[in-house]
Amino acid sequence: MSNPSLLILPGDGIGPEVMAEVRKVIDWFGAKRDLAFDVSEDLVGGCAYDAHGTPLTDATMARAQEVDAVLLGAVGGPKYDQLDFSVKPERGLLRLRKEMDLYANLRPAQCFDALAEFSSLKPEVVGGLDIMIIRELTSGVYFGEPRGIVREGNERVGINTQRYTESEIARVARSAFELARKRDNKVCSMEKANVMESGVLWRDVVQEIHDAEYPDVELSHMYADAGAMQLTRWPKQFDVIVTDNLFGDLLSDLAAMLTGSLGMLPSASLGAPMANGRPKALYEPVHGSAPDIAGQGKANPIACILSFAMALRYSFDAGDEAQRLESAVNAVLADGLRTADLLGQEGVEPVTTAQMGDAILAKLDASL
């Protein structure tokens, strides 16, 4: 049988340098765990625009549809701020999400023990935190029509449309309930049913799917603004949170920061199963392209490495190996190794991106 295929899209800013560390990890699993991948690499975002005049070529899009999983670094940068909306780096990422129909975006917010001190919240509030935000990723106000900037009389009007079909809500709700069953069996659904019809429908459909198919899972509903408040007040009350595209964008950044560092958190974007049974999947760190520190060896490769761990778990049925990688990351942090984004204590010298990657490889070796 041929090896599973991976398409790597490092993207812009710190994307290439963090992805270089992931490549080492991928090679390690091939050499030491008999888990080899056929890896190909391509452009996405600003670098694709520079080379081809588009943030994602049709050929790259087609390749993404064929492979077993896509691993993406980050896109964007100030160089591209003035570009027309249709060719901005972000459009490349949004096209991948939309055309691969990656409707369930899993964003874990986990507090690493060694890093609880970096949270802006008290250690007792965040210590041991482990929640999973499931953000709907292919619909809602990000994609709804009509949209645009139009002229009305003598002024301009900006328009975006929040739109959800029943089936779009139902499928992401199912993802949340399925995942909850493998965790603490609790789902909290967040919307604004008090102001938005799409929120009323969201709440109804989530409740219906629950009652019909997942009555064993504990379900609660919260308005998204109250959810933001509760997330900062006592985040450990949550297990799985399911919410729409825009609220999920905001709430996942909030939840990520609770853990002390955005540089640590991975994500998985999953769609329907392919012919081989694997879900369509794209894995990427939650952090952005951080152009201000790009190319200086300051970036933290952990979020991207942990995104590969999610790939092992959700695409390649290798939960044990995912765990091995996550333990290696934990061990390195417990040893006190810190990239520049994690510095708080005086007298601690930061390690470079590559040194962090090498230290994780050494822990992987030690795990054998």
Residues found near ligand IPM in the complex (CB under 6 A): 90, 93-94, 249
Q: Which residues are the active-site residues?
A: 142, 192, 225, 249, 253
Query: Residue with the closest Cβ to Mg ion?
Result: 249
Phi, psi of 293 (to 5 degrees): -115, 10
90 binds Mg ion (CB under 5 A): no
Q: CA-CA distance, 341 to 264, in Å (whole number)?
A: 10
249 binds Mg ion (CB under 5 A): yes
CA distances from 350 to 76, 125, 286, 339, 355 (A): 26, 27, 22, 5, 10
Least Å from the CB of residue 139 to Mg ion? 16
Nearest to 205 by CA among 234, 231, 230, 172: 172
Which residues participate in the annotated binding site for Mg(2+)? 225, 249, 253
Task: Decide if 302 contacts 19 (C-beta within 8 A).
Answer: no
Which residues participate in the annotated binding site for substrate? 97, 107, 135, 225
Q: CA-CA distance, 49 to 228, in Å (whole number)?
A: 36
The identity of residue 147, as a single letter, is R
In the bound state with ligand IPM, the residue whose beta carbon lies nearer, of 213 and 249, is 249
Task: Decide if 270 contacts 106 (C-beta within 8 A).
Answer: yes
| Stretch of residues binding Mg ion (CB under 5 A), selected from 11-19, 39-47, 60-68, 247-255 | 247-255
User: Residue written as tokens 């102001």?
Assistant: 195
CA distances from 165 to 199, 202, 205, 241, 245 (A): 11, 9, 10, 20, 13
Least Å from the CB of residue 139 to ligand IPM? 12
In the bound state with ligand IPM, the residue whose beta carbon lies nearer, of 90 and 99, is 90
| Stretch of residues binding Mg ion (CB under 5 A), selected from 138-146, 245-253, 300-308, 328-336 | 245-253
Which residues participate in the annotated binding site? 77-90, 97, 107, 135, 225, 249, 253, 288-300
Least Å from the CB of residue 253 to ligand IPM? 7
In the bound state with ligand IPM, the residue whose beta carbon lies nearer, of 92 and 357, is 92
In the bound state with Mg ion, the residue whose beta carbon lies nearer, of 252 and 353, is 252
Least Å from the CB of residue 249 to Mg ion? 4
Residues in contact with Mg ion by CB under 5 A are 249
